Amino acid sequence: MVRTQVRLQKLDFWLRNPDYLADELLTEYEKSGEVPLLRLAGTILDSEEPEVRRDRMLRHHFGAYEPLGDALAVLRSAGLVARRRHGTVNRVRQHDYFLLEPGRTVAREVIREAPDFHYYVDRARLVLALADRLGAV
């Protein structure tokens, strides 16, 4: 489960922008002095990853942003993910997102049939660990 739409958008941003992910890793290294963070940032920046894996996002007020509705609608209509809203009819306080069992099955099948997609599994794990470490919303 991913709590809050803001968190999901942050995770999406770092996954789609490896150069910003590397920058955040360097920022964390400067705070903590943990050498693995420096190595990982260097690995990303010294590779073609920032150019090859970047998936541009729209600029919106104070940063990159892309509405989640269209992408999630496809996954929701296929029964792969679910969204739960908290709040009132007039004001949603929070959105929570769930990867359902059929979604897990599809993800496993895709990785088994196209192992190159495992890159995204590894990066998603890194992005989640970084967000948890930073206390990202």
| Domain at 117, CATH number | 1.10.10
pLDDT for 50: 74
Is residue 48 over pLDDT 60?
yes
Report residue 41: phi and psi, to 5°: -60, -45
What is the count of structural domains for the chain?
Answer: 1
The answer to the question of residue 61 being in a domain is yes
The answer to the question of residue 24 being in a domain is no
Please give the span between the terminal C-alpha atoms of the chain, in angstroms, as a whole number. Answer: 13
Q: What is the pLDDT of residues 36-47, one digit of tens each?
A: 999 999 999 999
Q: What is the pTM of this model?
A: 0.78
Comparing CA positions, the residue from 3, 11, 6, 10 lying closest to residue 123 is 11
The pair of three-digit structure tokens given for residue 63, joined into one six-digit string: 């940063």
DSSP-derived pairing of the beta strands 63-65 and 58-60: antiparallel
Structural domain of residue 88, as residue ranges?
A: 2-17+55-134
Query: Which 3 state secondary structure label does DSSP give 87?
Result: strand
The answer to the question of residue 13 being in a domain is yes
